[in-house]
Amino acid sequence: MTDELELVREYFGEQPPPEPGVAAAAKARLPLSEPGNRKAWRLHRPLARGWRPSRRSPLLWAGLSATVAAAAAVAVTVTAIQAPSPVPAPGPGGREILLTAARTVARAPQPVPARYWVTSGTVGNFLKVGPADGPYLVLERVGVQSWMARSPRDPSRYLSQALWVRPASPSDQAAWRRDGSPTVWKNIGQDTGLADPYGDSGDGLIEPLSAAPSKPTSQSASYGARQFQVGDKDLSLRQLLALPADPHKLKDQLLTGSRHYARVSQSAYLLQAVPPILQMPVTPAVRSALYRMLATMPGIRSLGTVKDVSGKQGAAVAYTAKYLNCVNGMSSLNGFSRALFPSCDVEQILIIDPATGLPQAEELRYAQLPPGRTWPAPDGLFSYEIFGRAHWTNHPGVSE
C-alpha cells in the first residue's frame, strides 16, 4: 500500500466503507489514462509555461497511481489526510545539491521529437472555507496534464481533473460536520494550479469548489508554433532548443521585461520560474545551466533528503522570503483574491529526483505568520505539486 494511504490509516484508523454505489460512481469518473489506456488528465499550471500564472501548464502523461484511484473511490466520505513533514536529513549545501543535479541532467540523452510533448502532475491546495464564525481547512487535489503540439497545425491542450476535497485534520473535519457536511462551497472556485509565493494560484475556475471527482476537462486549446513560455516570452520548439547553455544569459532572458519579477525578489522569482522550464524539451546542456544559475542565487539553502507529499524521497533546496497580503489561493468566483494574512514568510521548496536530476515536487509553506495567526496544515504547507514524467509521444492523448 502506498505511503499516503498508510498515513491516513495511522492518523485516523481504518475508515468505514462508502455507502452502496459511492465507490462505483466514483470509479466511473476516474481520469482517463494515456497511450495504452486512452485516458488523460490535466495539470493546470502549464509546465511548459515559465512563471506559473496559473499553477498548471503543459503536462506530460502520467497515469493515475493506485493511491489516487483508491482515494477517488472513497471521495464522498471526505476523510482528512495528513501530509508528511519534510524532516531534513544531513546532507550537502543547497549549492552542492543544485550542482549535482546539473551534472546529472547534463548526462541525459536528448530525446527525439515526436508529435506532442506531454507533462503531467498532481496539485494540492489547502484552502480555508466555511462560515465566518466557524471556518475550517480543506485539502483540494487536482490532476493536471499538458499536451504541447510540435506542429502549429495540431492543437495544444491543457487538461485538469478534480480528484477530491477533504478536511485537513480531525478538528477541521469536526468543523465541516458542524457546517452540515457540505460537498460544494459556492463562494470559492475550483483551483487547478500551484500557488505562487503569495499563495495565489491565479487559476481559480468559475465552477464552485466541489468534493466530487470530475471527468478530465480541457481548460484551453490553442494552435500555433510558439507554445513554450520562458519568462514572458512565447517560444517555438526551434527557439526552445536554441536557448543558450549559459547561466548568465538564461538569467537575463528570464528577468528582462518580466512583469512578474517586480512583485517578488529575484531568488523567489527564479525558483518559481525555472522548474517548469526544466520540464520542457530543452537540451540537457540548458537544463544543466538552469541548475547552475539557481546555484548562484543568494539565500538558497539545503534541506537535505526529504519526503515529498507522496512519500517519495528526494534532495531538497529552499528559499524563504517575506510577502504582504498572503492569500493562499483563496480566489473568489469573480476572480478577485481575498487576503488571508496581512503578511507572512513563505518557504519555497524544490525537491529533486536524485536519479534523474529533474524536479520531483514543489511545496509552499508558511514559515512565519503574524502574531496570533495560525495555520493548521502540517508544517505550514499550503500548496504543492508532484511532477509526472515529461516525454514526447505520437499518440494524440485526447480525441481530435
Q: Going residue by residue through the chain (400 aa), what tens digit of pLDDT does each one get?
A: 334 333 333 333 333 333 444 344 333 333 333 333 222 222 233 333 332 333 333 222 222 233 333 333 333 333 333 344 444 444 468 999 999 999 999 999 999 999 999 999 999 999 888 998 999 999 999 999 999 999 998 988 888 889 999 999 999 999 999 999 999 998 787 777 787 766 554 444 557 888 988 888 777 778 878 889 888 888 999 999 999 999 999 999 998 866 655 667 888 889 989 999 999 999 999 999 999 999 999 999 999 999 999 999 999 999 998 887 776 644 444 444 566 888 889 999 999 999 999 999 999 999 999 999 989 898 999 999 999 999 999 987 654 4
Q: What is the predicted pLDDT for the residue at 10?
A: 34
Residue 224: phi, psi to the nearest 5? 135, 165
Contact 86, 307 (CB under 8 A): yes
Locate 171 and state its grid cell: 478538528
Any domain includes 152:
yes
Residue 41: phi, psi to the nearest 5? -140, 170
d(CA 294, CA 300): 8
Contact 14, 7 (CB under 8 A): no
d(CA 296, CA 309): 27
d(CA 177, CA 171): 10
pTM for the model stands at 0.77
Any domain includes 398:
no
Any domain includes 55:
yes
Q: What is the predicted pLDDT for the residue at 138?
A: 94
Any domain includes 399:
no
Number of domains forming the structure of the chain: 1
d(CA 60, CA 333): 29
Structural domain harbouring 39: 3-393
Any domain includes 400:
no
Q: What is the predicted pLDDT for the residue at 342?
A: 84
